[in-house]
A and B are shown apart, each in its own frame.
Chain A
């Protein structure tokens, strides 16, 4: 059944999108799959693939298998999850706030997760839940706290506040939480400060599958929310009034978008620490290829975000081998120039 959204100005008709979706998912999906398959084979140590799957060697004695299954595969999976979550959140925040500079960091949810993690490190919190340790747990709790505040701001927005006010409120929350992070760091001793600083540089070396499985819960909820959004985001990004005129429940859609993007961001930052630029750059690069239609941008960003972060992590763990760089440094060093190029290319 055709709807009035098919004729939305600036976006291709639905039939055209369906055709392009297959190519988009095929292209970016191939890239993501290639990254997932190749990355575990490359690292600072030479791994013999034959030995990895050689069942005649007991697992406890099989260094190749342990490097593959304990060290590399979990971090490739973590990179895939975190990369896709940050990229999707970036797309949604940019549409929700109608601002191309918006990113998963913008509204303070990422800073909330960082604050939780820094508190756990500084005060040596000793809690765990379903095998998830204190730092990611506190990180996710911090992101939920920030989400509650942002949700309150969005309620004010629904009472007539503009997207700009929500944006400014979120940015203020981010600055406030960053100040609290600095205060908690001030209370830390040398060792804790060192660990805090390193955590804030991001790391995907999760060393186990438990944290990944735990992150899948909020990310699964977020993906369910994202799945309802593609068409609605096209309308919202043009304007609330225009969307409402086309029969979209703007309030509900914005709530779903906000909560989904925040949950995904919180889970990603809790798992890997703050990994900058992925959430802002990937959506823009994807738009260069597939255009602005969210039914294409969302899945393409998820897949491209996966490939980008796996690639950045590969650089992080091989460029100064046998040492490793924190992945957040790599994304920032590579992402910064790309973003500047995007900016000046448009100008």
Chain B
């Protein structure tokens, strides 16, 4: 064989190296994609509700990272944090080498970045109560834990049905469900309107949403609106670090300035503290149970 000039030999070697690199990369990416399409083992969840769902279906040990807002179950405290809805830390997220990332469907930029990095995604959409269990089943199906997810979702369905049955036939009090207010005063009140999982849970627990005719998740309530709608029960939700226990009674008394409201007159203003009210995950059973106890104490 004729000896090739050094420049040609170098060029051939370079082409061979590039070809090998491409072949290795293609093969490994293909294998990785094939493996992840079956059963993801390194899941990053940017949604606290999805994290709780994964733990509920027994896939907690497969979670590699969670959002900054995850608080439950306690195991999440040991997991790396990767930002939240508005500020996902993409570098940190990629460094965890996820084979599935659970994102909000509205995280357009993040979705594009993950697509470019060829990382599979599960798109989460936040809607009403039926969607929670539907999401749980779809997520279980996606991570190869269909039977465990179905079992967990069915258990939640049964528990919710039991709460509904327990308060069935009772008068349904007109209820105002407040989930935000300025401390110490009746200003900047946000209440649940006739749409969303909180509204659905309230109706399931035997209440009649006093804002049920307004098709929006959050309604800015003025004092005039509260007086005009005359709720018979007021449920005020507090979560995270938003209310220290010593202040609960003081915050309840703030409502006394609206003495004509039946809920105030009849001492039916309840302040409920717990993260289960803001995470549309498996703990909705706990939230529904607490609503039912406050709305129908005679049944408990």
Contact = CB atoms under 8 A, between A and B. Distances in A.
A298 interface: no
A121 B84 CA distance: 20
A5 interface: no
B230 A205 contact: no
Contacts of A194: 180, 190, 218
A324 B220 contact: yes
Given A60-B260, A61-B260, A205-B187, A67 B224 contact: yes
B280 to A, nearest CB: 13
Interface in A182-197: 186, 189-191, 194-195
A204 B239 CA distance: 27
A126 B183 contact: yes
Interface string A278-300: 00000000000000000000000
Interface string B75-99: 0000000001101000000000000
B244 interface: yes
Contacts of B265: 60
A207 B223 contact: yes
Nearest to A208: B257
A133 B227 contact: no
B228 A66 contact: no
Given A133-B184, A195-B180, A198-B188, A71 B224 contact: yes
Contact of A134 (B184, B218, B225, B258): B184
Nearest to B265: A60
A96 B183 CA distance: 38
Contacts of B180: 191, 194-195
A270 interface: no
Nearest to A120: B183
Interface in A72-94: 72
A104 interface: no
Contact of A45 (B84, B228, B259): B228
A323 interface: yes
Interface residues of A, number: 41
Contacts of A198: 188, 190, 220
Contact of A190 (B69, B187, B225, B244): B69
B214 interface: yes
A128 B84 CA distance: 33
B249 interface: no
B244 A126 contact: yes
A43 interface: yes
A198 B220 CA distance: 9
A205 B222 contact: yes
**Which of A43, A121, A322 has most B Cβ within 10 Å?**
A322
A323 B219 contact: yes
A233 B182 CA distance: 40
A203 B187 contact: yes
Contacts of B84: 190
Interface in B223-245: 223-225, 227-228, 230, 239-242, 244
Contact of A135 (B182, B214, B224): B182
Contacts of B28: none
Most chain B C-beta atoms within 10 Å of own C-beta, residue among A124, A128, A195, A207: A207
Interface in A162-211: 186, 189-191, 194-195, 198-199, 203, 205-208, 211
Contact of B260 (A66, A72, A124, A195): A66
Contacts of B190: 194-195, 198
A240 interface: no
B247 interface: yes
Contacts of B244: 126
B114 interface: no
A44 B228 contact: yes
Contacts of A72: 224
Interface of A: 43-45, 59-63, 65-67, 70-72, 121, 124-126, 128, 133-135, 186, 189-191, 194-195, 198-199, 203, 205-208, 211, 317, 322-324, 326
29 contacts: A44-B224, A45-B228, A60-B260, A63-B228, A63-B260, A66-B258, A70-B223, A70-B258, A71-B222, A124-B183, A126-B247, A133-B182, A133-B183, A133-B185, A135-B183, A191-B179, A191-B239, A191-B278, A194-B180, A194-B218, A198-B190, A198-B220, A205-B224, A208-B185, A208-B257, A322-B214, A322-B228, A324-B222, A326-B220
Interface of B: 69, 84-85, 87, 179-180, 182-188, 190, 214, 218-220, 222-225, 227-228, 230, 239-242, 244, 247, 257-260, 265, 278
Given A71-B223, A198-B188, 12 more contacts: A61-B260, A66-B258, A70-B227, A125-B183, A135-B187, A190-B84, A191-B180, A194-B190, A195-B188, A205-B222, A207-B257, A322-B228
